Structure 1
Amino acid sequence: MTNVRMQDDFYTAVNQEWLKTAEIPADKPATGGFVALVDEIDQQLMTDFKQLKQTDNALLQHFLDYYALAADFKTRDELGINPILPFIARVRSINNLTEYNQGLADWVLSGLPTPFGLSVDADMKDTAHHALYAEAGSLILPDKTYYEDGNQSAEQLLAVFTDMMVQLLQKVGFAPVVATKTVKDALAFDRSLAPFVKSAEEAADYAKLYNPKPLSDFIAQQQTIDFQKLFSRILPVQPDKIIVTEPAYFEQLNELVNDDHFDQFKAWLLVMTIRDWSGYLNEEMRQISSIYSRALSGSKEAKPQQKSAYYLALGMFNQVVGDYYGRRYFGATAKADVEAMVKKMIGVYQNRLEQNDWLTAETREKAIVKLNHLGIHVGYPEKIAPIFEKLVTVSQADDGTLFENTADFIRTIETENFAKLTQPVDRAKWEMGAATVNAYYSPSKNVIVFPAAILQAPFYSLQQSSSANYGGIGAVIAHEISHAFDNNGAQFDEFGNLHNWWQATDLDHFKTLSQAMITEFDGLAFADQKVNGKLTVSENIADAGGLSCALEAAKGEDDVDLEAFFVNWATIWRMKATQQYQQLLLNIDVHAPNAFRANVQVQNLADFYTTFDVQSADKMYLAPDKRVTIW
């Protein structure tokens, strides 16, 4: 890599020394700012938990006991495939849809595969109360677009999936010819679903997921799946309505799941059950069952045993681990500093809204009302969600196994999820653990959440200058605030309800600006493919708003250093990834590739040009009339 000028490729220039030497771990598809931080935290916590065998904290003890079971590969190897055999026998015993419907309630509560999803969540138009949601079944390939004719990566991936599943089926006792036929039938059923499932781009439009329907009409529509019986067995009450996220799928479900196609459907149930549960069995099954996901991501190896055990336990007890991490490693000084930064950023945002020259007074006032209602969560939640009190591990000393505990936990989680239907929405509940290197905005709660794990270098450090911190965590904070006003968030009011609070002329202008952001990113070449501007528009709007607000905040400090601000912005996005992973993200991720998040956004800001003396002949130069500014 020759020396790259900041004026020609800012992202590469800032990160070129790192890009030369960084190596992707064999068990990972990528490395970089976020991923390196995840690795660091994982290692710290794994070391802690290795030393901490016993604790007075009951919830943490249940995590430690479950982690110990996951890490005990000697016992897992001794048990072999035996734990999954009752599940397989259960699927094989079903001969028709009548028998399937008879046991469907128990099937759903067991977390076994179904050609639809059911969940209870806040009603998008009445977020103080819960509603029942019906979702489409999931596909084997990452997105419906993979099923289009001529998609070469789909053919390669399905060949890998077929080989993996034939191996797994033979390991659990299927004859080779039966295993091959079963996988072929399962893939035929999977392909039949694809035309009626939303693509990632379609699913990124939140408002179109809200399609309420009288429950009685939904039940009457479905002739082959007995939802009447299912709902009577799994729900505490029968609600008046159900919210259908993908109506076209459920309009077709009778044609997809019926006795004429039962053999294919049953094959799909078998294949999905074995795929989903093989990772909880012995080492051989764990290794084989990771082949397809590794082909998707380009990872060379499966995760090491101890790391995979930790991830299983973390996935089940994320808030418990987050509570430990937050209380031990996130200090009161950092919490106060970040909270002050969030409040300052909200103040900057309010000022920018007050100065906004394209909103009418009515819409501007309502935007400020929404901003002032924004909830702020920093570090870790004060209390752990009540569900974790019910995840009581039967330890190895009491003859507990990883598989049986997992099955019990899933049943508990599913049962509790449906029980929420009659309970008020817990607006204080976090959707991710404090040990997660991420942040989020919840449109339905109108809250921004910054877990402790992201609140460290390069995003944030008391040792970094204020400008560097604003280019890191400051931009992340303002990014999440901006989600309240992106093309999705803007459709929700200050209480998180799906409700139009815009004047018509303002909304039209906002859509025009959003289209400009789509155009700016759409078609950019990356990893032998192109960026989808529509898929990534909400994140690009949030990046643009976040960076410009953080820049204004940085300029308000006495020690302002705009070079440090922009350099840290490019630093947090550094990433080296496999070609397969980059292409996967281009198809399904609502975020643009990291290099473009760094480069395209700074091209929209006049201060970038003056800070680095970018001239019209430089590759980073973008003509003023092409620059996109929304917030």
Structure 2
Amino acid sequence: MPLTFRRPQQVKAKVLSAIALMIAGTASTTHVYAAETAKAAAPSVLLSGIDSQYGDKSVKAQDDFYRHVNGGWLKTAQIPADRSSAGAFMDLREAVVPRLHTIIEGLSKAKNANGTDAQKISDLYASFMDTKHIESLGLKPLQSDFAKIDAFNDKKQLPALMAWMNLNSINVPYDIQVHQDNKDSTKYVLDISQSGLSLPDRDYYLKDDDAKLKDTREKYLKHIEKMLTMAGDKDAGKNASAILALETELAKIQWTKVELRDPIKAYNKVELSKLNEVTPGYDWDAYLSDLGVKGKIDYLIIGQPSYLTAMNKVLIATPIDTLKAYFKWNLLSSASGQLPKQFSEESFAFFGKILRGVPEQEIRWKRGVRLVDAGMGESLGKMYVDKYFPADSKAKMETLVNNLLLAYKNSVGTLDWMSPETKKEALSKLSTFMPKIGYPNKWKDYTSLQITKGDAVGNLRAIRSFAAKTELNKLGKPVDREEWGMTPQTVNAYYNPEMNEIVFPAAILQAPFFNPKADDAVNYGGIGAVIGHEISHGFDDQGAQYDGLGNLRDWWTKEDHEKFATKTAALVKQYSKFSPVPGYNVNGELTLGENIADNSGISIAYKAYQLSLGGKPAPVINGMTGDQRFFMGFAQVWRGKIREQEAIIRIKTDPHSPGEFRANGALQNMTPFYKAFDLKEGDKMYLPASERVSIW
């Protein structure tokens, strides 16, 4: 994943996404509604919002609903050569890119005063696009950084070097994050978590019995050697082997993705004076001083104490020359996109072609847009909203959100497995949910960010340093509850347990999620299920451990815990049977939180849709009842294809299930779905009522 939104893997302040990267799209999807609108006899004609031409009538709805709705598309759609997947989600994501490009190009043609966001966006993009200048510079822009690493000759210097690399988002054995204290959400805290691997998961280093992962690891070794050779390393082969060996040692001591899901185990408050007990001999005082936070904090939260202790031993045992090679490799890899063509192409050859199965690298102007989006996303987002986000979409979303919250409130009141005591707490938490729709009320200030035209590497360093220092400057200050964790142009949504907030960026408020020209059924099945999904994250196996103020607090009775655990164990069992790639099953434990949210989200969205009808029957459109359109609207959102290599990465790392199982898996637990499509015993999607999991 290129320039990422950097957060630790555990739940602390994590954006719990409704949208899996498992799904993606082709450009055909978003045009369907325009075509349907043109066919309408008058504006008053209700549209179904269903992409009926993409269905496959040869597949019974009762046997495989996902393919019944999407099978025609699945037979003919091709994944673009520069992408690892295709489908409904990626369609919207890709549609945003040329819009952002138009905005950037417009700024580039204007006369922009120095220091303005317009100047910075324009120069950031222009510097990346000036390949002739980048080629002429070669590796000169990295020489001062290489020299800094070469000056490392004593392990007492290691904390200062790690601080510098953390500030510049260069991969090292541990990562940092500023977020709200999980047991006092009124304060910001600094968190330390495991890191340091370049391959997607520890299994890529440790599983010798998996031929695909072993082959990837062997090709990764060759990639490191080639990159170091091009950078002038005369011992590239030896150093590459040492780097892989070091990363393998780190992989051995890291927590698994499933272990990282436990917010209680990941909350380890350590006073600064006692850090030496965790990592004897490691100079945290020097590290925190160089990080610029000394005096602002008196404790840290350590996500994985056993890892940090073992990591310290690994670093002590590792020769300085190996550490130098490891740091140089990560520096080189992190800057490859801003370096001459041979480096960027070799980086793509491994991380794109081999690791993810993508045949062609994305065209450069798109990569330039994504760089600007990652570096100055809110400034770009403000311009995006002004140009592309209709004002009435926000008002309509507010109505939908309110209906979903009401449906959730009503549903909690009718639960037969939850005690009155816990219900009271659940309703209290629900009443404090904070929805954020479209765009932030206040925008990020980029005044201190310095962008220089003609300095691609320096600008990359600048935006990374700016992002890190912006986060670190929060320490000691009041919590900013207006802040957003995604830009408005992001096609996604999230729940943040520490803020107890649900956030829906402007770009997701489009068809097939949200179609203002269609009947309500498809919107409740699309964006309604997304809203319900995000609300449900507040009550999934992780989110339910936080109260309405965003603090880790057990508000459940012992009996309710046991009943909840029984229901979630049944979901783990259900999803663990799904196999998107032969020999690779869905990890029901890793995906549990998202599976709870998918199942609960569609259930609550359905109840909200019923409330929206006000007791009146839903219209029949194109021969489909309201309930049928609701469920079809849900299934078409998950339409997608993915390359095998990318699918394996997602199975190993993604907390979301693959799209087809997000659709079929949730629907097979929905009794109203059975009634809408007359499912009976013997149908392939049929589950006996006793095996259907209904939580919220």
TM-score, shorter chain, exceeding 0.5: yes
Q: Higher helix fraction: Structure 1 or Structure 2?
A: 1
CA–CA distance in structure 2, aligned partners of residues 221 and 490 of structure 1: 30
- 1:561-611 deviations in Å (ceiling 9; x for gaps): 111111111100011110111111111100011101100111111111121
One of 271, 277, 281 as aligned partner of 1:214 = 271
Match of 2:534 in 1: 480
Post-superposition, which runs of at least 4 consecutive aligned residues in structure 1 deviate over 6 A? none
Cα offset for 1:343? 0.6
Q: Map 1:97-108 to 2 at 5 A.
A: 97-101=155-159, 103-108=161-166
Shift of 1:521: 0.8
Q: Which residue of 2 aligns with 1:617?
A: 682
What value does the CA root-mean-square deviation take over the aligned residues? 1.8
Residue aligning to 1:19: 74
- The change in CA–CA distance for 1:260 and 1:619 in structure 2 (over 3 A counts) is closer
* Cross-structure match for 1:368: 427
Task: State the match for 1:183 in structure 2.
Answer: 240
| Residue in structure 2 matching 1:596, options 658, 661, 670 | 661
Query: 1:231-272 deviations in whole A, cap 9, x for unaligned?
Result: 133214153321110111112123110265333222211211
TM-score (norm 1): 0.95
Change (3 A) 1:456 1:124: same
How many residue pairs match? The answer is 624
| Paired residues for 1:574-593 under 5 Å | 574-593=639-658
Query: Shift of residue 90 of structure 1?
Result: 2.4
Shift, 1:31, TM fit? 0.6
State the partner residue of 2:92. Answer: 37
Q: Distance in 2 between matches of 1:211 and 1:260?
A: 27
The 1-side partners of 2:62 and 2:278 are apart by: 60
SS in 1 for 2:282: coil
SS in 1 for 2:117: helix
1:546 matched residue in structure 2: 601
- What residue number does 2:36 align with? none
> Matched residues in 1 for 2:66 and 2:249: separation?
43
| Match in the other structure for 2:212 | 153
Distance (whole Å) between structure 1 residues aligned to residue 545 and residue 519 of structure 2 = 37
CA 1:55–1:548 in 2, change beyond 3 Å: closer, same or farther? farther
- 138-147 or 270-279, larger mean C-alpha shift: 138-147
SS at match of 2:264: helix
CA deviation after TM superposition for structure 1 residue 471, in Å = 0.4
Paired letter, 2:80: P
Give runs of aligned pairs for residues 113-132 of structure 1, distance below 5 A.
Answer: 113-132=171-190
Pick from 500, 518, 523: which aligns with 2:572?
Answer: 518
1:531/1:592 contact within 8 Å kept: yes
TM-score, reference length from structure 2: 0.87
Counterpart-to-counterpart distance in 1, 2:339 and 2:687: 55
Q: CA deviation at 1:284?
A: 2.2
Letter in 2 for 1:174: D
Contact 1:235/1:418 (8 A) holds in 2: yes
- Name 2:347's counterpart in structure 1: 289
Q: Quick check: 1:323 aligned with 2:382?
A: yes
* 2:585 counterpart (530, 539, 542): 530
Change in CA separation of 1:56 and 1:462 when aligned onto 2, cut-off 3 Å: farther
- Relative to structure 1, is the Cα distance of residues 260 and 206 closer, same or farther in structure 2, using a 3 angstrom cutoff? closer
CA displacement 1:393-431 (0-9 Å, x = unmatched):
22x2xxx41111221232233233222211121111100
Structure 2 CA distance for partners of 1:418 and 1:572, relative to 1, 3 Å: same
1:47 to 69, 90, 102: 102
CA contact (8 A) 2:450 2:462 kept: no
Conserved 8 A contact 2:207-2:214: no
CA distance in 1, matches of 2:195, 2:491: 29
Counterpart of 1:378 in 2: which secondary structure? strand
1:379 paired residue number: 438
Is the alpha carbon distance of 1:103 and 1:600 closer, same or farther for their aligned partners in structure 2, counting shifts above 3 Å?
closer
Contact 1:236 1:418 in 2 (8 A): no
Deviates more, 1:444-453 or 1:233-242: 233-242
Matching residue within 450, 454, 462 for 1:408: 462
Matched, 1:138 2:196: yes
Distance 2:431 2:458 in 1: 47
Quick check: 429-438 or 54-63, which moved more?
54-63
Q: C-alpha offsets along residues 22-54 of structure 1, whole Å, 9 cap, x if unaligned?
A: 111111100101111111111222133223323
Partner of 1:496: 550
Is 1:204–1:590's contact at 8 Å kept on the other side of the alignment?
Answer: no
**Structure 1 residue 273, shift from structure 2 partner:** 1.4
Over 3 Å counting, the alpha-carbon distance change for 1:349 and 1:221 in structure 2 is closer
Secondary structure of 2:368's partner?
helix
Answer whether contact 1:182 1:271 (CA < 8 A) is retained. no
Kept after mapping to 1: 8 A contact 2:192/2:301 = yes
Q: 1: distance between equivalents of 2:539 and 2:516? A: 30
CA contact (8 A) 2:208 2:214 kept: no
Structure 2, unaligned stretches of length 5 or more? 1-55, 620-625
| 1:525 counterpart SS class | coil
**What whole-Å deviation, never above 9, does each CA across 1:333-352 have from its counterpart, x for those lacking one?**
11100111001110011011
Does residue 255 in structure 1 map to residue 309 in structure 2? no
Structure 2 residue corresponding to 1:85, chosen from 134, 143, 152 = 143
